[in-house]
A and B are shown apart, each in its own frame.
Chain A
Amino acid sequence: MTRSSEKLVKLVSSASPGLIYLWLLALVVAPNLVLFGTSFFKASAGLVTDEVTLRNYAAVFQSRTVLVLVMRTLVTAFVAAALASLVAYPLAFYVSRYMRGMKQVAVMLVVIPLWISLLMRVFAWRVILGENGAINSLLVTLGILSEPSDAFLYTRFAVVLTLAYMAIPYVFVSSFTALERVPESLLEASRDAGANRFQTFTNVVWPLSRQGLAIGFSLAFLLAVGDYVSPSMVGGLNGTMLGMVIASQFGMAGNWPLGAAQAVILMLAVALILAVIGYLGRSKGIIQAVDSGAGATLKRAATLRGRIGQILLKLAVTLPYLFLYAPLVVTLVFSFNDSRVQTFPLTGFTLQWYRELWTNTALIEAFQRTLFVAVLSTAAGTVIGVAFALILAYRVRAFGNVLQLALAVPVAIPGIVLGISLAIVAQFSGLPQGLPRVIVGHLSFVMPVIMLIVLTRLRALDPSFVEASLDLGATRMKTLLHVLLPMIRSAIIGGAMLGFTLSVDEVIVTLFLTGTEPTLPVYVWNQMRFGFTPSINAIFTLIGLISVAFVLCGLWVINRTNARTLRA
């Protein structure tokens, strides 16, 4: 057994629920309370005074523009999430029910874009939609348009498209997981009872998988509502969203209390909508373990009979993938294009941007910072997340679910609100500006993600494993080391990988916490506003390729260990 896992065990066994309360206080309760508190103070000349007032809320409700903005933000986010669901759920259904050999690949292909910088993908959309972009070039070349149109970029349509684009993988994974848990035997039982495919779907598949979709939808909605990076990049004036206005209150406008009030209102509206979605997506009953496993018959896989139907189906399955990969292809292509401006048509081939990478010290430093932050917050997040998951699963009797929910709050808060509330607390706490704040900020959402994944696995474990081990004379410590950890290893690895990804890619929270030392996404964000070097395309192409290789290796290792466990 390795040294590090021994340390982990020591840490966990000495941990008590008290640690959870401490964490909650510092990273959940305090930021939200402070944000809430700030919204009740009067601002004057860019400073917060000690005068208590309701004026900030009144200001929100009296301003038509702000109210319209709130509505527009919610509607935009909702439409984007709905659009993502319309693409992702049917795709997940198809992959889960009708794919066999290519299933894993199909899933990985949807997930891989998550590993490639979100900023970069949004930026690529700008290149695709712009006046000199891919769509316009194509339409003009085909003669459909006589001259490039400006109808694509800097519109609400562009914002919705980009937000939906970003959300698809999340909705897909969540729906897919739920669909995979619906046993084939239930579908057969339904057909046996006389239901046709459509009735089987509405009566059995949908009620048993809609919770997964609801979770994915909520996630998509949250990401969209708290985003201000995409709207400001592709939205222009028409696509302004509340997040941008709130951010400006904490920046140039310098009215923290007003920004806090707006954030609180946004948060409450989001909570309300999520509650409704959660209610609509509620599930009833528990899928029994005995139902699962039955071999699915795929002989009757083809739903649409006939050749035309088959072609249409293939096309319908391929389109989402084209949509997912279009921005990545754009990034890759422009990393080899010998022009400083990102417009079509392409001008020529060059490796210049890759060469420039090595001389751009600011870029390299930003990259190093990003890695530093991600490694530290993932490592700490993994240790704490596993410890908390174990405590919640085996130590906490009452209120376990409440604690779990409370710990997950930072994941469920719009990014902009989380960033601002953490920034305010950090200011009070005296934590030095820069990387320490960024690391703590990332920890606040990386830890819960890892914890939730591990906890889900722990809850699904047959408790008799632990009992058997204790019964066979192992101490608690040895049980943990030899029984539990090996069984939840893949969940830990998966959680850590997801946490790492989230950290590496984070912009919004980081923007509020970082000082003069930008991480890579923040550096890119600044670049995109104040002059852009195509080297950024090059570094993201490299990062993309490396992470894909990394993911494939990871998959391979997991597959191998799984195969070994099965054989053993």
Chain B
Amino acid sequence: MSPVNASGPFLRLSGLSLSFGAYKALHDLSLDIGEGEFFSLLGPSGCGKTTTLRLIAGFEAPDRGNIWLAGDDITTLPPNLRDTNTVFQSYALFPHMTVWENVAYPLRMKGVAKAEIATRVDDAIAKVNLGAFAERLPHEMSGGQRQRAALARAIVGRPKILLLDEPLGALDLKLREQMQHVLVDLQKSLGITFIYVTHDQGEALSMSDRIAVMSGGLIQQIGTPEEIYYRPANAFVADFIGKSNRISASPNPGDAASLRFGPVDIPRSRVAGRAQPSAVALRFEALDVQPEGRCDVTFDARIARVMFLGSVIEVVMESGGQMLTSHVPSRKGLALKVGDTVPAGLLFDDVVYLDD
């Protein structure tokens, strides 16, 4: 248990494990998060996101492993002494206190002077646009308003880390997008580290500096949104993020070092240095129909289905006995018809090799 030196990461989780009875919720989880970072935990329901947050907040103690914040080991520190605040999945606003009283609560507990409380609470309430609702009780407000009140209560104490557990889960699409902007702006202006739990990949991709993709109590990949999206580390991430064709691959009978999947052969130069992958992933939008730009390979495919999705059109086609799905921009795809045979193409760089 050596302390992390001052130049180490702001928050370090090292080797955290936690079981509920016989069920292992977290296996040996390690993670470094930098100061001022907007960090997201992304994963399917039940993968351990909330549990991880609860460990950081101090509501749960790990069976094994340690948590360091700014160089101090806080593994056993009780939650009221930690410099973290949580926006709860269920808001957890105190039902017997008005919005104002809720927001004032952390400052009161810290023994901040009355006058300062007043200005800081008003300030926090203004930041989330709830000025008109300060005197309301939680049950007299809508879900989105409660959400914002919970946010104000969590930021008013200027914690070092703000933990947000699916804070936008209960909101409609419009309000959600609006709140996403509020959150990102808030994070930039406050400079607080945000750890954001969500199972909505759009949210994670658009807001985060970095993302950890989790599954079954394990971290699958950590990276920037671009890395996660374009270079998934394994089949799980490729499946979970965005929409991909998953195609089984085999060595080319003619050249054992190159790879064949569906109608496509990938030359040995592009596969070099990898163990023989058993499958590849290809994002829907990486497969172009009637390509106009540069392509590494093109082939003919017969259109089996066309579906209009708004900004894109989903085209399912067949080539060399392999079904492939593509997303093409709507304007370009409007002329496509079922039964047509069209050229399709892709770049080798967009192919993700999966070895599982």
Contact = CB atoms under 8 A, between A and B. Distances in A.
Interface of A: 183, 185-186, 188-196, 199, 203-204, 207-208, 283-288, 290-291, 294, 297, 299-300
15 contacts: A183-B90, A188-B79, A189-B93, A191-B79, A192-B80, A193-B105, A193-B153, A195-B80, A195-B105, A203-B94, A204-B94, A285-B95, A286-B137, A297-B54, A299-B61
A183 B90 CA distance: 10
Contacts of A203: 94, 105
Contacts of B97: 284-285
Interface in B83-122: 84-86, 88, 90-97, 105-106, 109-110
A444 to B, nearest CB: 35
Given A186-B94, A285-B95, A297-B59, A192 B137 contact: no
A294 B109 contact: no
B203 interface: no
B173 to A, nearest CB: 20
Interface residues of B, number: 32
A188 to B, nearest CB: 5
B280 to A, nearest CB: 41
B157 A189 contact: no
B138 interface: yes
Contacts of A192: 57, 59, 79-80, 84-86
Contact of B60 (A189, A193, A195, A299): A299
A191 B78 contact: yes
Interface in B46-69: 54, 57-61
Contacts of A185: 88, 90, 92
Given A183-B90, A284-B95, A288-B91, 13 more contacts: A183-B92, A186-B94, A188-B79, A188-B86, A194-B81, A194-B157, A195-B109, A196-B78, A283-B96, A284-B137, A287-B95, A288-B90, A297-B54
B223 to A, nearest CB: 29
B139 interface: yes
B106 A194 contact: yes
A300 B137 CA distance: 31
Contact of B92 (A189, A286, A300): A189
B94 A194 contact: no
Given A285-B97, A297-B60, A190 B90 contact: no
A208 B92 CA distance: 13
B121 to A, nearest CB: 13
Sorted from nearest, which 6 A-B pairs have the closest CB atoms? A285-B95, A193-B106, A189-B92, A185-B92, A286-B139, A194-B109
Given A286-B139, A300-B61, A194 B110 contact: yes
A203 B107 CA distance: 13
User: Which of B54, B60, B90, B139 gathers the greatest number of chain A CB atoms within 10 Å?
Assistant: B90
Contact of B80 (A191, A204, A287): A191
A40 B123 CA distance: 64
B86 A288 contact: no
A408 to B, nearest CB: 25
User: Which of A208, A283, A286 gathers the greatest number of chain B CB atoms within 10 Å?
Assistant: A286
Nearest to A293: B90
B90 A291 contact: yes
A188 B56 CA distance: 13
Contacts of B93: 189, 288
Nearest to A182: B95
Given A194-B109, A283-B96, A188 B59 contact: yes
Contacts of A288: 90-91, 93, 95, 138-139
A287 B93 CA distance: 9
Nearest to A208: B96
Contacts of A199: 109
Contacts of A186: 92, 94-95
B152 to A, nearest CB: 12
B80 A285 contact: no
A285 B92 CA distance: 13
Given A285-B137, A299-B60, A189 B95 contact: no
User: Which of B61, B80, B93 gathers the greatest number of chain A CB atoms within 10 Å?
Assistant: B80
Nearest to A185: B92
A196 B96 contact: no
Given A285-B95, A288-B139, A189 B110 contact: no
A201 to B, nearest CB: 13
A186 to B, nearest CB: 5
Contact of A285 (B81, B96, B153): B96
A188 B153 CA distance: 14
A185 B153 CA distance: 15
A423 B187 CA distance: 73
B80 A286 contact: no
Contacts of B81: 194
Contact of A290 (B91, B105, B157): B91
A286 B59 CA distance: 25
A189 B58 CA distance: 11
A261 to B, nearest CB: 42
Interface in B238-260: none
Contacts of B85: 192-193
B191 to A, nearest CB: 20
Given A194-B106, A203-B105, A283-B96, A189 B86 contact: yes
Given A196-B80, A285-B97, A300-B61, A188 B92 contact: yes
Interface in B109-150: 109-110, 137-139
Contact of B95 (A194, A196, A208, A294): A208
A492 to B, nearest CB: 29
A291 B91 contact: yes
A208 B109 CA distance: 18
Nearest to B105: A193
Contacts of A286: 95, 137, 139
A194 B80 contact: yes
A207 B84 contact: no
Contacts of B91: 288, 290-291
Interface string B152-164: 0100010000000
B271 to A, nearest CB: 48
Interface string B7-25: 0000000000000000000
A328 B149 CA distance: 53
Contacts of A194: 80-81, 106, 109-110, 157
B91 to A, nearest CB: 7
Contacts of A196: 78, 80
A309 to B, nearest CB: 17
User: Which of B54, B60, B81, B92 gathers the greatest number of chain A CB atoms within 10 Å?
Assistant: B92
A183 B138 CA distance: 15
Nearest to B84: A192
Given A208-B95, A208-B96, A290-B90, A285 B157 contact: no
B112 to A, nearest CB: 10
A193 B85 CA distance: 7
A17 to B, nearest CB: 29
Nearest to A196: B80
A297 B62 CA distance: 12
User: Which of A189, A204, A283 gathers the greatest number of chain B CB atoms within 10 Å?
Assistant: A189
A195 B170 CA distance: 27
Nearest to A292: B90
A192 B85 CA distance: 6
Contacts of A284: 95-97, 137
Contacts of B105: 190, 193, 195, 203
A291 B92 contact: yes
A213 to B, nearest CB: 15
Contacts of B94: 186, 189-190, 203-204, 285
User: Which of B54, B81, B88, B157 gathers the greatest number of chain A CB atoms within 10 Å?
Assistant: B88
A562 to B, nearest CB: 21
Contacts of B80: 191-196
Nearest to B110: A194
